[in-house]
Amino acid sequence: MLQKIFQHLKFSAFFLLVCTTAALGQTWQLEKEVEGVEIFTRIVEGSDLKELKLEFYLDLNLAPIVHLLHDVQDYTNWVYNSLAFEAVSSNAPGNGYFYGIVDFPWPLDDRDYVIHTVTKQDVSTNIVTIESKSIEHEAKKCTSKYVRIPRHHNRWTLTPLEKNKTKLEYWLKTDPGGNLPDGIINMAIDKGSLQTVLNMKTKLANCNSDLKLAYIKER
């Protein structure tokens, strides 16, 4: 009798674990590592599109990294296939509404998007998060010239480890629209993000490492 009860409890615990894992989505799978950048993907319950996560480290404090991410006028020089990026309205560095245009290979139409971006810094850990979500904006309505990206959500997480050492995590979930097959999107999801990160590392290799920002607290 006790053995049957024990077996029932083990089964119930296993069933609960499976259900919880399904609800939260699959665990991250390491796909590859390129030049110190680890690339992870996973499929989330209810969607056939992959989420993407890139992790890497830089020998820099927070300020130079945040400055680069907030300098939207420079995006076309390092963000992969960025044709244009501008502030629609912004009330503080890294906070506001932004509009971008992305170059897509022929014969596909170029994409455009509007995002709302929020920058936060945790007062206890000094971790900086820069999160952007797609949104419609009256000032940038859809036109026939571009395919509007219907869903886009990304987040930078900058974790200071010690002086001149920061862990970076870039998370992305997006649907470029235009009726592209999910399989094609999943195959190419890491290309643009990886190249952007590699370009970012090149840019920051020549930055002012002593830069300070009044609104960013260093470790």
Please report the domains of the chain, with CATH numbers, ordered by start residue. Answer: 26-204 (3.30.530.20)
Q: What is the pLDDT of residues 139-167, one digit of tens each?
A: 999 999 999 999 999 999 999 999 999 99
Mean pLDDT of 93-107: 94
CB neighbours of residue 34 within 10 Å: 15
Q: Go through the chain and tell me how many residues it has.
A: 219
Model confidence over 45-69: pLDDT tens digits?
888 899 999 999 999 999 999 999 9
Distances (CA, A) of 10 to 5, 13, 21, 88: 9, 5, 17, 56
Q: What is the rounded CA–CA span in Å between residue 132 and residue 135?
A: 9
Give the residue from 127, 116, 123, 113 showing the smallest Cα distance to 66: 127
Both structure tokens of 48: 């056939």
State pTM to two decimals: 0.86
